Amino acid sequence: MAYVSLESSSGQGDNSFSYKDTLIDKMYIDPLRQLIVRERKHTVQVVVDSLRSQETAVVRLRYGMDDRVVNIPMLKLAGN
């Protein structure tokens, strides 16, 4: 088995490139994208927290926003 340095180049002249430029890091998270996602989550959290408690519970359960146990008061049914 022969090893090849990631710094070594392939191609010739203007068409040359290093192997590390062609590899994709699947674990890489773009910092700008990470910031945007965090800010969006924060904005949604602020909006949901501004709702009444029952509305907050409905939205959280409907959209699976967290796995906290939500205390939903039982509604009185007509005739009971």
Give me the percent of the chain exceeding a pLDDT of 70: 78
Of the candidates 35, 32, 36, 4, which has an alpha carbon nearest to the alpha carbon of residue 20?
4
Q: Which residue has the tokens 């088995």?
A: 1
pLDDT: which is higher, 8 or 71: 8
| Coil vs helix vs strand at 9 | strand
pLDDT: which is higher, 76 or 15: 15
Distance (Å, rounded) from C-alpha 30 to C-alpha 68?
29
Is the pTM here over 0.85, yes or no?
no
* pLDDT tens readout for residues 13-35: 677 777 777 777 788 888 998 99
